[in-house]
Chains A and B, each alone.
Chain A
Amino acid sequence: MNYFELFKFSPAFDIDTALLAERYRELQRAVHPDKFANDTDQQKLLSVQRTAQVNDGFQTLKDPIRRAEHMLSLRGIELSHETTTVKDTAFLMQQMEWREALEDIRDSADPQASIDELYQSFAQYRAQLTQQLTQLLSSEQPEDALLAADQVRKLKFMAKLHDELTRVEDALLD
């Protein structure tokens, strides 16, 4: 299923999220089970399936990582269940440093300040990765697609790191 087609978007990484949300609501109005509450069971089931597709499409296009994965998958590169990992040593070193910083938060003098600082560095680095990804995905070259896949893998690392930081923050607040 090509979600760009479902939502009538050209397959570009840069996406107008406000327009996406509007299209999503229009599609929902067309297919949602509540619109078929009095219809035949067959129509209802179909409606559930279509709405599930629309929901998945929206989530996929809304989230930059999933959107990039979807674009790559349309180009024949599957990232969702792969075992390949990032080989960029500088990147991996940086990850290790950040992980250590995460562990040190608890003992720091001002944990919230350390947390905010980390959130900021994560955001900066992600913005940088995303910018490179946008460029790579706008290219038609197969080797650029492979490079884009690497950027996506790195973004996934960053997403995990971000989750862990929120967990640490949660533990502090509770």
Chain B
Amino acid sequence: MALLQIAEPGQSAAPHQHRLAVGIDLGTTNSLVAAVRSGETATLPDEFGQHSLPSIVRYTQDTVEVGALAAQSSAQDPQNTIVSVKRFMGRSLADIQAGEQSLPYEFAASENGLPLFVTPQGQVNPVQVSAEILRPLIARAEKTLGGELQGVVITVPAYFDDAQRQGTKDAAALLGVKVLRLLNEPTAAAIAYGLDSKQEGVIAIYDLGGGTFDISILRLNRGVFEVLATGGDSALGGDDFDHLLQAHMQQVWQLKNIDPQLSRQLLIESRRVKEALTDAAQTEAKVTLADGKVLAQTVTKAEFDALIAALVKKTIACCRRTLRDAGVSADEVLETVMVGGSTRVPLVREQVEAFFGKPPLTSIDPDRVVAIGAAIQADILVGNKPESDLLLLDVIPLSLGIETMGGLVEKVVSRNTTIPVARAQEFTTFKDGQTAMAFHVVQGERELVDDCRSLARFTLKGIPPLAAGAAHIRVTFQVDADGLLSVTAMEKSTGVQSSIQVKPSFGLSDTEIATMLKDSMKYAKDDIGRRMLAEQQVEAARVLESLQAALAKDGDLLNADERGLIEATMTHVAQVATGDDADAIKHAIETLDEQTQDFAARRMDNSIRVAFKGQSIDNI
């Protein structure tokens, strides 16, 4: 094997170029963007010096306001000012109306029961609202870094299910941004801390955000971050503290039948009171009624603690279960990392410290730590640090299963399994000549389908008509490194690959996404055809670039003929890509893909050989 690659300057193996990539913390309450610049990782401020962008979007007749501007109108125009949209992601309208406090929005339901906010600009879904939050962050990053982004890493709560993850990815897709990875928030925090302190051993990440709670137990070992177990509650956060305070104030003041404006005012005041109680033993809560009357009431830290005690206890019970799932005891945990603004609440810190028996780490700003970790990962994934040792091994937070007879769930992948993961399951037909079969995929830990979250329904078609029980269908469930599920199926005796139509239960269907994409282009007054062409050209350039790098690195795995053939096809792709036929480019890329299949497999095998080089069996 060649130890050294010598290339003429300017020829092949292009001089290493710094690529632009950022990490985005798309939070329930606030969102941030961070980047690595000349070795330093930091969150990027806007032109007013603000790092946090409030995750608030207001729709008016002809504008979309995001962040602080939208926040200003939050109390006056609550119907059209959407806060904490992250809590709606991947949820059905029925879920939301059953679970949440009274919400000021006017809702409509989509075809498959997704919530749609009715705004002066028409109906918008949570994915579109999230895209509005991402838009200024990306613009800020491109302006600060001075160029177009090659990719982003977006963080999600570890406990997010498939529909919630897919929704987050779709939001970025609406803006045409390449998502390098969906990264779990606790893991991102661990990167931010782990790299600084070079810890080895077990650490716990306690992440209490505005709307979600996560606890992750990780083992650090020479740059490898291995998530042992993760647990949490995707509907428990600082917002709930606010709601409890709000309900308390309403009770104290005997307020009944309040309008949305007063309700929002109460909520905003509750948040202020909560934050004030971080440092003060008591504070005064105040609201102004429509008739100008001012209500005031002193709230003590003890009162607040009593209100939230049950919720904090719930998070600690979750920590205990997750430690057990990880197979470690509380005293084996070397460090506890605190993430999320809600970990500033003194009672939370006290309880976490008492449970783990050591003061938690808080040296990195808990509001920024996630974005910083995401930026470090983005910098590595985009290819700026080829020598990096960092590797993240994450897990699936909730079990995946399929519905069987009697509404029971058969688990296919259990929770805390390291991803990527693939599991095959065999099914057989129960009627003569049966050519189709229906499946229902759910996520959750309970035994009954009704107690789990419905992820998708799909139908297998094109099963060869055989006698009952003669057709054996092998269904493979694959979860990728982003925690996203895909399903493939094959009839074993004939080798016929069956087509699968996945209809996400609480996500957007492909058609809905296509329509949204079209709409977003219409607003941008962009020509769809031109956009499609540009996309294929970018794709062609990307494929050629990666292949060139692969040939430079592993070209010795091919003989002269094989290499000649691949290079000829590459030239063809490059040529077609200069033209204006998007379909032709797509086709040429597909041909190249097919031709390099064997090379790809050899590279993978070689990579394993190199990893084990010099190691004999069992090291005896």
Contact = CB atoms under 8 A, between A and B. Distances in A.
A170 B616 CA distance: 45
Contacts of B380: 34
Interface in B596-620: 596-597, 600-601, 603-604, 607-608, 610-612, 615-619
A37 interface: yes
B320 interface: yes
Contacts of A141: none
Contacts of B618: 8-10, 16, 19
A94 interface: no
Interface string A137-174: 00000000000000000000000000000100010011
Contacts, number: 120
A25 B221 CA distance: 9
A32 to B, nearest CB: 6
Interface string A48-89: 111111011011000000000000000000000000000000
B543 to A, nearest CB: 5
Contacts of A43: 546, 550, 600, 603-604
Nearest to A21: B221
A101 interface: no
A19 B619 contact: yes
B391 A28 contact: yes
Contacts of A128: none
Contacts of B547: 40
Contact of A59 (B417, B422, B480, B616): B417
Contacts of A37: 151, 180-181, 381-383
Query: Which residue of B151, B478, B542, B612 has the most chain A CB atoms within 10 A of its CB atom?
Result: B612
A40 B549 CA distance: 11
Interface string B533-557: 0000000001100110110000000
B381 A34 contact: yes
Interface in B172-194: 180-181
A28 B393 contact: yes
A48 B608 contact: no
Nearest to B597: A42
Given A30-B610, A34-B481, A38-B382, A52 B615 contact: no
B611 A42 contact: no
A31 B481 contact: no
A174 B604 contact: no
A88 to B, nearest CB: 28
Interface string B514-545: 00000000000000000000000000001100
B397 to A, nearest CB: 16
A97 interface: no
Query: Which residue of A16, A51, A173 has the most chain B CB atoms within 10 A of its CB atom?
Result: A51
Given A38-B382, A43-B550, A55 B418 contact: yes
A170 B607 contact: no
Contacts of B616: 8
B181 A46 contact: no
A166 B421 CA distance: 26
Contacts of B18: none
A40 to B, nearest CB: 5
Contact of B600 (A8, A33, A42): A42
B611 A26 contact: yes
B597 to A, nearest CB: 7
B481 A46 contact: no
A43 B546 CA distance: 10
B419 interface: yes
A101 B611 CA distance: 50
A174 B313 CA distance: 10
A55 B417 CA distance: 8
Contacts of B221: 25
Contacts of A52: 420-422, 478
A137 to B, nearest CB: 16
Contacts of A48: 420, 422, 478, 480-481
Contact of A46 (B417, B600, B617): B600
A31 B596 contact: no
B255 interface: no
B481 A56 contact: no
A173 B607 contact: no
A51 B419 CA distance: 8
Nearest to B389: A29
Contacts of B180: 37
B597 A51 contact: no
Contact of B546 (A31, A33, A40): A40
A170 B546 contact: no
Contacts of A103: none
B222 interface: yes
B317 interface: yes
Contacts of B324: 166
Given A8-B612, A25-B224, A33 B420 contact: yes
A38 B21 CA distance: 12
Given A25-B222, A173-B320, A30 B607 contact: yes
A27 B611 CA distance: 7
B593 interface: yes
A173 B596 contact: no
A130 interface: no
A61 B374 CA distance: 32
A19 B618 CA distance: 8
A174 B550 contact: no
Contacts of A50: 604, 608
B420 A38 contact: no
B381 A47 contact: no
Contact of A34 (B181, B593, B610): B181
A27 B391 CA distance: 11
A100 interface: no
B391 A42 contact: no
Nearest to B153: A37
A56 B477 CA distance: 13
A39 interface: yes
24 contacts: A8-B616, A19-B619, A23-B612, A25-B222, A25-B391, A27-B608, A34-B181, A34-B392, A34-B481, A38-B546, A39-B546, A40-B543, A40-B547, A40-B593, A40-B600, A43-B603, A47-B604, A49-B422, A50-B608, A52-B420, A55-B417, A55-B420, A56-B421, A56-B422
Among all A-B residue pairs, the 9 with the closest Cβ atoms? A52-B422, A30-B611, A37-B381, A30-B607, A33-B481, A48-B420, A26-B611, A52-B420, A55-B418
Given A23-B612, A26-B612, A53-B422, 10 more contacts: A9-B617, A25-B222, A28-B224, A29-B611, A34-B392, A37-B181, A37-B381, A48-B422, A59-B418, A166-B324
